């Protein structure tokens, strides 16, 4: 199903504006992942990219009226959360070994 078929409605305009804003946010967060001055900055930026991916899936689910996509968004949110916790534990473990 195409996202923007037919006449422009409020939902289609809101979806388009949201997707552009999220795309710009993903670009900025990806730059922070690549250029982050420290590992914790990169972990937070990577978590933000995961959150933005969840929001893209959610917006597409709303625009296409496919609620099954929300299951994928929930699964991705869970994986992103667990990976952030794992990175935080790794950073903590790395700091203990440095001492």
> What is the per-residue DSSP string for 12-37?
HHHHHHHHHHHHHHHHHHHHHHHH-S
pLDDT per 10-residue tile (average), the chain, 99 residues: 70 91 97 92 93 96 92 95 92 81
- Decide: 93 and 30 in contact? Cβ < 8 Å: no
The pLDDT value given to residue 83: 93
Residues written for the chain: 99
The pLDDT value given to residue 4: 62
State the pTM of this model. 0.84
- The CA distance from 71 to 58, in Å, is 9
Question: Which residue, chain included where needed, has tokens 């709303």?
Answer: 62
Opening angle at CA 23, ends 57 and 91, nearest 5? 80
Q: What is the DSSP letter of 75?
A: H
């Amino acid at each position: 199903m195409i996202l923007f078929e037919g006449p422009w409605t409020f939902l289609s305009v809101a979806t388009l504006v949201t997707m552009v804003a999220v795309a710009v946010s993903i670009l900025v967060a990806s730059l922070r992942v690549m250029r982050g001055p420290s590992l914790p900055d990169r972990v937070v930026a990577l978590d933000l990219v995961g959150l933005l991916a969840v929001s893209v899936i959610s917006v597409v689910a709303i625009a296409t009226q496919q609620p099954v996509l929300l299951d994928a968004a929930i699964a991705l949110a869970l994986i992103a959360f667990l990976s952030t916790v794992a990175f935080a534990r790794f950073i903590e473990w790395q700091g203990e070994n440095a001492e």
